[in-house]
Amino acid sequence: MEKMISAAAARRNFSEILRAVEEGNRYVIMKRGSPVARIGPVPPAGGGHLKDALIERLRSRPTKKIGKWKTDELYP
């Protein structure tokens, strides 16, 4: 749930708001009764759910046995 807070209160209590955001809270900053900004937690870097989906897809695909190779075959 988002909490509404005035721009002046956000300015005065910014460090407290950041601590609360770290805990998962979200805020809507109001200026003269109108919403002007949202402050909330940042999603995990790298799109966590996309990464998990890619890994799952790769794991579900069959693997190919290619045998052993020599270093000079890898680096022409």
Q: What is the pLDDT of residue 53?
A: 84
Beta-bridged to residue 6, according to DSSP, are: 30
Nearest to 41 by CA among 21, 16, 17: 21
C-alpha triplet 17, 10, 27: angle, nearest 5°: 60
Q: How far is CA 12 from the centre of its chain?
A: 27
Can you give the pLDDT of all 76 residues of the chain as single tens digits? 799 999 999 999 999 999 999 999 999 999 999 999 999 998 766 666 788 888 888 889 888 888 887 888 777 6
Helix (H, G, I), strand (E, B) or coil at 67: coil
Q: What is the pLDDT of residue 71?
A: 82
Q: Whole-prediction pTM value? A: 0.56
